[in-house]
């Protein structure tokens, strides 16, 4: 077979492929737009938009890990009520300004084969929980690893509508700090459609850092506030 003939065959196959593919893509694009318009009519101002297409893979739970799980350590020179403190911060910083954090204060819903955001559906009590402490034995790093593994395997909520949460320790870790300080762990989970590792670091700095840290993370945090 001559090179010219092979080239013609390849060109023909590509043309046929595009002839078949373009109408299919157009049909899906039109259908997606119809779903979008329908949801706007149903929910009005509460409609937060369809999920990005590149986030769709993170809802295929059998082929991908859908949550980023992070363990934070909060150190203090004295014992503190970390659970109440974090609840107050999240209520004030996030739920007190929901339009600035639509992905954190909204919930995921489904319609017509697509996932979409519904604004203001998430509540503070559904995302901040107490970390389960051991009934017997020490509350140390070994226990924390096991507790974190259990959290990873647990659904955030039965409807998969809430896509992030915090587990807050109400007591400090034992045998952790050599300087006499108290160390409280926080286990945080976020769906990949909400944030990546960089924007999560920015979120934590914004929530628990000072004004200088907040200014530093302005650009890094764009993914979460859009």
pLDDT digits (tens, 9 = 90+) for 12-69: 788 877 888 888 888 888 999 999 999 999 999 999 999 887 776 666 555 446 788 8
Q: Does pLDDT of 178 surpass 90?
A: no
How far apart are the C-alpha atoms of 28 and 26, rounded to whole Å?
A: 6
How far apart are the C-alpha atoms of 184 and 169, rounded to whole Å?
A: 6
- Cβ neighbours of 182 (radius 10 Å): 17
Task: List CB contacts of 176: < 8 A, sequence separation 6 or more.
Answer: 140, 141, 183
pLDDT recorded at residue 198: 66
- Structural domain spans, the chain: 3-46, 53-194
pLDDT recorded at residue 130: 93
pLDDT recorded at residue 63: 46
Task: List CB contacts of 45: < 8 A, sequence separation 6 or more.
Answer: 119
How far apart are the C-alpha atoms of 138 and 55, rounded to whole Å?
A: 40
pLDDT recorded at residue 201: 72
- Cβ neighbours of 210 (radius 10 Å): 8
SS3 of residue 9 by DSSP = helix
Percent of the chain with pLDDT over 90: 32
Domain 53-194 -> CATH class: alpha beta
């Amino acid at each position: 077979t001559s090179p010219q003939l092979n080239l013609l065959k390849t060109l023909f196959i590509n043309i046929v492929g595009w002839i078949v593919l373009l109408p299919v893509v157009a049909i899906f694009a039109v259908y997606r737009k119809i779903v979008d318009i329908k949801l706007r009519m149903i929910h009005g101002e509460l409609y937060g938009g369809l999920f990005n297409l590149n986030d769709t893979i993170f809802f295929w739970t059998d082929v991908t890990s859908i949550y980023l799980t992070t363990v934070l350590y909060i150190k203090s020179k004295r014992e503190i009520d970390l659970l109440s403190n974090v609840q107050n911060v999240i209520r004030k910083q996030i739920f007190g300004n929901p339009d600035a954090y639509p992905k954190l204060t909204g919930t995921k819903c489904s319609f017509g084969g697509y996932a979409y955001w519904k604004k203001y559906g998430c509540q503070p009590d559904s995302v901040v929980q107490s970390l389960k402490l051991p009934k017997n034995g020490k509350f140390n790093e070994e226990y924390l690893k096991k507790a974190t593994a259990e959290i990873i395997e647990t659904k955030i909520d039965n409807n998969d509508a809430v896509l992030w949460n915090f587990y807050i320790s109400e007591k400090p870790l034992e045998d952790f700090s050599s300087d006499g300080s108290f160390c409280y762990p926080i286990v945080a989970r976020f769906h990949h459609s909400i944030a990546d590792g960089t924007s999560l670091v920015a979120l934590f700095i914004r929530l628990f850092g000072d004004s200088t840290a907040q200014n530093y993370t302005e650009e890094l945090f764009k993914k979460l506030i859009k």
